[in-house]
Structure 1
């Protein structure tokens, strides 16, 4: 079996491709300029498409036909109008053009499979969009790899580190368009991401935009008659100003790079269309002043990640820098000063992800079926089945290969290393073969197993034995968000139940059983809805996004779907984030199978404004409700949340007409972060309330449980068996569900006790006499009941209660009857 071996960093600002070959990484150089990377820029001019440096140079002269930073729009419904071609182009199509250009660097090699990197915080839709770009570029097999993992593979495999005990690393990935922060566990044998956070609209291009808005525009306005220049640049009302914006953006990026190595930079603005011609001097201090807010955004996520994992900065051994933005001295300095952690600068942060992707590709078997090779008659005699067992990754100088044959074998075996440096020679075989083989250091060792019959004729071969020595790899990648199923609840609303938790390792699969929450008649338009969402399980359904949606209509049924019927659901998520949902309703013998790989969603600035306003109103209401309680710490958190959302709401309103920059995507990303933070604040309050309720019910049960039946005692033990996991889940819905289970058990036990009839008697005592059939008998029974209570005669009281119950004109429903509700989705 052949490994993929090709790794690609499809970056926002720069992209690159590399190959793994026998433990060595070769970065394919750009034939033009012989650089390791190319700008992720595409230009269109007179029917000609240019990609990379040449395309980027056209930004200053042909801006309307030059496109960059489209990776940030992956998974959105955004399209770019190509004036030169008079057509629209999607981010997926533009990304596929960059990938095609990278493939050309291989100069004739046939590349069918590739590992392509994505930000760790890319959701399912963005991930699927990246895969689609790869397929459009001609690849037949795409495996996605999260960028922090790639960076760590590059560092751990390239720097010859001596790691003898468990260490924790922090990956600080500030790229051209996205920001990721990840916590890594590493020891002498394995490397694992155990948590991460990110912002898909925080990157170097945002610094460039700020550079134009906060430094260049004010300087131009000061030296010319221009007013409100920034507003003119980002509005589509005047193409000359749009053209100037892209020219200034190009110059800002160049000045930003220069200020990373010099204290000052000079920008020449010569724009005839608007009669602007001047020279601008910018200092590093001016630049650092405007990027401070963006660094604070990134560092806020760093601090939250550390806090959420109950760590301190002293627990982290080193910070791994990734992305071109980390070249900025201010960022390196601030990281060092604030964390006091070693900041790793020994590897180029712009190529680390490319190198790591190639290392991963070198350990990833391709699932493509290789072209059939014409076999010799001797090889065709092969009818032997052999299972080969070995460790694919080893730190040792030799490794054991075990071969298990399905039947006794009278013949010989031979194992040869591909480089010719090891050969067992012909050895007598048995049903179980065990052989220690020597390994070359820091490389992939390829071995071939041969089996020969008693006449020493070859009857079997296996050339897919590969053992990598001394190089780190990973066994799987964590999912960036919870994946949940939307379910009906009694309030008429819905909540989410976790299928897979954030940081669970891909690939994943799970079977869960639910019941139908409403009657759906056959041949009707009523629907059973299966909605799988991605986000945070403890938050509102609406703050998450749907990644798998199935509607099953009554028209699909041969018979009625009755409330309470069982629904079996099977979920699978592949390593590259394809979601499979299998629905089986045994009572109807109905099975539905669907695979989802959505790659597009729509973002509206008006909708964003509305969602932020709703969240802001919710915060204000919570503050109003709490102001009398004098819980100042809680109120302070709410005030900070209110301030953040207020600023963001104003930004959304101010940028309503912004048709040029990525502002609406940045606002959307911050909206998710701020609403999540508010949700965390109030969820804590609600969880405390649910926990208090749980403890009260459990205290009551501790008194009554000894009076329960053996079956009720067994049910109690079953309910509290996983209580620690539930109570620490930080999910109010799970705790509330546990409360209802305990409450129901408590009620059942209590209702079987004699003293419960006292409560029931007084419940009936205060009913209106008109609800009883015979008022005279009702009055007499009430007197007898009072007497029975005075005499503590519970046996007589039970008889009186039964008689009163039978006198009721309308019998009260059982509690369970009140709990049967009709759901909107049809599943609970």
Structure 2
């Protein structure tokens, strides 16, 4: 039984690996073909055997080529890169198995294969790495895949954190900023790490879940291989059919992967297929062959724009943290594509010459995951199921990471967990992995005994626990070893939120829902984390026992610039729904709601809503909703609408990006993950358009703000001039004027449309109140008469009560008591149902 998890898996898009701590060292467990990594590839043969890894990868080329014979989609039985559709509803049809598989089911087979490389023990607990920019549905899908693979205790770890852990342990530099540049098979992450005397902290992250080696392969296919085929063969009809084109792309992708690898170490590579490799005849009856010499220049033309996207993301990350490449102590390369000399040259030219190649880009994440796993205790549930009670059970407590050279370890005998018979006096001797230090025999018992252990600097220190009776006879114990990482710290709080977690909140000034981050769950907050929003208001009454009376709270993830944007442009997690069925009493419209969201280390969430008026709390799990891949028609229409908007607001840079997306859609409309990638790119451009529209509307908003202030200022001047201020608190009014003046200067300086609209509403509200007071309630009189005249067209919660209140108001008007109308009006407003179609969300 292990005290800590000790096992880490890098579940990659194209390749995966497993590592464990052995004698304090993170060690890659070799595949059945004695490789460090295994292709994340699965093949189902006609006997319905499941082939995973190298065997599957070796048949993939033939499997994809066979699809060329019929040019029918869905006939393939080999699957790879399904990590790109994790967390979506997309499934992979398998003809040999007569069923479809989800991304989670396929990923679970990779995890089972990795687990099989460990023959000397069963693994129940695991740390699995995920891209830093993975969304909640993708994280949830990864957890589900691990459960399907039989793991009981699962922890998710962001890939750049894993890489920084492995790098940091062996690095001579224990201070300064590091940049993890993780360009993997299907995703890209950049993470800014601050090291302070060996204590690591993630300062900020960025990335792209749709940018990786797969894109490089596709660029080589689309810009080198397919043009070569189109030049030499008549394949126009295939290229015009999106499904047939996708089948052709898959069939020749093997050559692109091979070219990418070869040109990481050579100046040129000749792509040459053998007759029969591509079993397809063109429109003239000629069988397809590939024969093209690819140079470094050809490769650079194809892939440098893709690498540039990753470099631009990195530059932006540094810029918003007020750093330059020269401020970095190291740029750490992670992922197979970072072997590319083209990328390394671009990084040195544009970021820093301190590109660090000291760690293996292919295994550093798995090793880092194992190191991190050595600091995470196995769950009590797993401990109980793996406990051998015939062995002496020990409880060991210690700090799993330290920058000190010694550490206190707390030992206690758990006799209640032990069924065997053991002597009264028990001695423990703790021996370090290198045999150069031991504690000597120390008496231990049911009360805590503290031992000081000495550590070797800059590595994981493994200790063997030897237990003896009074006569020196050795006793079996669990656990029998533990590890402490020396030279690195802060791992327990190193992971951060990659996105804001927020809600859709109704803003009166905008007359619509906008994205509002939950305080405490902003981007780059350490996890676990707790976020709170107080004082939200119900927008309709919720009656007890009524299942149709609903409060909807949509939860989203948004990037660093998402606050105040249209919620639908962010990533929808799910909608929390609270109904009257669970409430103990009536919750009137406008009641306060305080919400709390807790996010654990793996970014899974729990939600609670507190209703102060009822002293009642609702606690709910936030179920993660799978996303639906977009259709080609949806993307076509949305890109077209966005182009029209971009022209109207003169957003030329956005227009160019949208045209690029149109080209991508033409190339990748037959691929589910290709369409997901285009949707992600489209959302980014729509967010830019959202900001551009706000900038475009600013001149009008600025004029409205100035007009509202000047009109209010003119009203005050007339009040003073006519000496009408006897019944008004003018000191308070003039204090407001001073506040408004300062606020307006700040708003205009920042061109803050949202704040301007809020201030306009406040100024106009006070203006109306003063005019109403000066007129003896004439404005309120007009409001009441409006409700009387439009009574039949308005929607009411209680029509009879509303009519009764309006009649009372009409009587006050007849009696000349218009100054007494305000309390009645408040009651009338409370009975109104706003016709905005969304009144059950929070404001």
Aligned with 2:491: secondary structure?
coil
1:612-761 aligned at under 5 Å gives the runs 612-623=639-650, 638-649=651-662, 651-652=664-665, 654=666, 658-660=669-671, 662-682=673-693, 735=755, 739=759, 747=766, 760=774
Residue 592 of structure 1 is matched in structure 2 by 618
Q: Which range is displaced more, 331-340 or 605-614?
A: 605-614
* Structure 1 range deviating more: 214-223 or 759-768: 759-768
Matched residue, 2:592: 566
Cα 1:486/1:260, change in 2 over 3 Å:
same
Match of 2:280 in 1: 273
| Corresponding residue for residue 479 of structure 1 | 497
C-alpha distance in 2 between matches for 1:170 and 1:692? 46
In structure 1, runs of 5+ residues without a counterpart are 405-410, 453-457, 624-637, 772-801
For residue 362 of structure 2, what is the aligned residue in structure 1?
350
Match of 1:551?
577
Shift of 1:263: 1.9
2:184 touches 2:337 (CA, 8 Å); kept in 1?
Answer: yes
1 CA distance for matches of 2:320 and 2:685?
16
Q: In the TM superposition, what is the alpha-carbon distance from 1:150 to its structure 2 partner?
A: 1.1
Report the secondary structure of 1:235's partner residue.
Answer: helix
For 1:4-153, what aligned pairs fall within 5 Å after superposition? 4-32=5-33, 34-46=34-46, 47-63=48-64, 64-153=76-165
Determine whether 1:520 maps to 2:542.
yes
Secondary structure in structure 1 of the residue aligned to 2:539: coil
CA-CA distance at 1:349 after TM superposition: 0.9
> Once the 2 structures are TM-superposed, how far is the Cα of residue 712 of structure 1 from its aligned partner?
7.9
Q: Which residue of 2 aligns with 1:504?
A: 525
Q: CA contact under 8 A between 2:780 and 2:822: conserved in structure 1?
A: no
* Residue 301 of structure 2 corresponds to residue 316 of structure 1: no
CA distance 1:684–1:209, change in 2 (3 Å) = same
The whole-number CA distance in structure 2 between the counterparts of 1:577 and 1:428 is 39
CA contact (8 A) 1:492 1:824 kept: no
How big is each residue's C-alpha offset from its partner over 1:113-167, in whole Å with a ceiling of 9 and x where there is no partner?
Answer: 1111111110001111111111111111111111111111121123x4142x3x1
TM-score by length of 1: 0.78
Q: Is the 8 A contact 2:553 2:575 kept in 1?
A: yes
- Give the distance between the partners of 2:482 and 2:271, measured in 1 at CA: 58
Structure 1 range deviating more: 95-104 or 14-23:
14-23
In structure 1, what is the equivalent of residue 557 of structure 2? 534
TM-score (norm 2): 0.76
Q: Quote the residue 1:629 is aligned against.
A: none
Structure 1 residue aligned with 2:609, among 574, 583, 586? 583
The 2-side partners of 1:728 and 1:24 are apart by 58
List runs of 5+ in structure 2 lacking aligned partners: 65-75, 282-286, 413-423, 470-474, 721-726, 786-811
Q: Which of 395, 406, 422 in structure 2 is aligned with 1:398? A: 406
RMSD of the alignment, in Å? 4.7
Supply the distance in 2 between the matched residues of 1:360 and 1:731 (Cα, whole angstroms).
45
539-548 vs 77-86, greater mean Cα deviation: 539-548
2:267 to 257, 263, 270: 263
Measure, in 2, the Cα distance between the counterparts of 1:436 and 1:177: 46
Q: Distance in 1 between matches of 2:36 and 2:408?
A: 39
Give the superposition deviation at 1:106.
Answer: 0.8
1:552-579 Cα deviation digits (max 9, x unpaired): 3345455432113232423211111221
Secondary structure at the counterpart of residue 114 of structure 1? strand
Structure 1 residues 42 and 473 mapped into 2: Cα distance closer, same or farther (>3 Å)?
Answer: farther
Contact (CA 8 Å) 1:439, 1:445: kept in 2 or not? no
**Equivalence map 1:180-199=2 (5 Å):** 180-199=189-208
1:215 aligns with 2:256: no
Tell me by how many angstroms 1:506 deviates: 1.1
Match in the other structure for 1:444: 461
Deviations 1:87-126 (A, max 9, x none): 1111111111111111111124201111111111100011
Give 3-state SS (helix, strand or coil) of 1:317's partner.
strand
Query: Does the Cα contact within 8 Å between 1:79 and 1:91 map onto a contact in 2?
Result: yes
User: How far apart, in 1, do the equivalents of 2:223 and 2:677 lie?
Assistant: 17
The equivalent position to 2:506 in structure 1, one of 466, 488, 503, is: 488
Question: Which secondary structure state, in structure 1, belongs to the residue aligned with residue 498 of structure 2?
Answer: coil
- SS of equivalent residue, structure 1 residue 340: coil
Quote the offset at 1:450 in angstroms.
Answer: 11
2-side partners of 1:350 and 1:464: how far apart?
Answer: 29
CA–CA distance in structure 2, aligned partners of residues 450 and 600 of structure 1: 51
Matches for 1:779-818 after TM superposition, within 5 Å: 806=816, 808=818, 811=821
DSSP 3-state at the match of 2:43: strand
Structure 1 residues 6-44: Cα deviation after superposition (integer angstroms, max 9, x where no partner) = 010111110000001342011000122x11001111111
The alpha carbon displacement at 1:662 in A equals 3.6
For the structure 1 residues 694 and 40, does the alpha-carbon distance in structure 2 shift closer, same or farther, using more than 3 Å as the test? farther
Matches within 5 A, 1:288-437: 288-369=300-381, 370-371=383-384, 391-400=399-408, 416-419=429-432, 421-423=437-439, 436-437=452-453
Name the SS for the 2:527 alignment partner.
Answer: coil
Alpha-carbon separation, structure 2, partners of 1:691 and 1:473: 51
Contact in 1 for aligned 2:409/2:452 (Cα 8 Å): yes
Does the Cα contact within 8 Å between 1:479 and 1:503 map onto a contact in 2?
yes
Task: Tell me the secondary structure at the aligned position of residue 62 of structure 1.
Answer: helix
Q: Are the structure 2 counterparts of residues 450 and 56 from structure 1 closer, same or farther at C-alpha, using a change threshold of 3 Å? A: closer
SS at the partner of 2:492?
coil
Deviations 1:180-228 (A, max 9, x none): 1221111222112211211111111111112122111221222233336
Aligned equivalents of 1:242, 1:757: Cα separation in 2: 69
Give yes or no for contact 2:705–2:757 (8 Å, CA) kept in 1: no
Which residue of 2 is the match for residue 783 of structure 1? none
**Distance 1:691-1:592 versus aligned 2 partners, 3 A rule:** farther
Per the alignment, do residues 618 and 708 of structure 1 end up closer, same or farther by CA in structure 2, a change over 3 Å counting? Answer: farther
Shift of 1:521: 3.7
Q: Does 1:827 align with 2:842?
A: yes
Cα distance change, pair 402–693 in 1 and its aligned pair in 2 (3 A): farther
Once the two structures are overlaid, the 10-residue window that deviates more, 597-606 or 478-487, is: 597-606
Render the CA deviation track for 1:59-86: whole Å, top value 9, x for unaligned.
2211221111111011111111101112
2-side partners of 1:313 and 1:512: how far apart? 38
CA distance in 2, matches of 1:389, 1:728: 57
Paired with 1:310 and 1:738, the residues of 2 have a C-alpha distance of 31
C-alpha separation in 1, matches of 2:449 and 2:698: 58
Distance in 1, Cα, partners of 2:696 & 2:527: 33
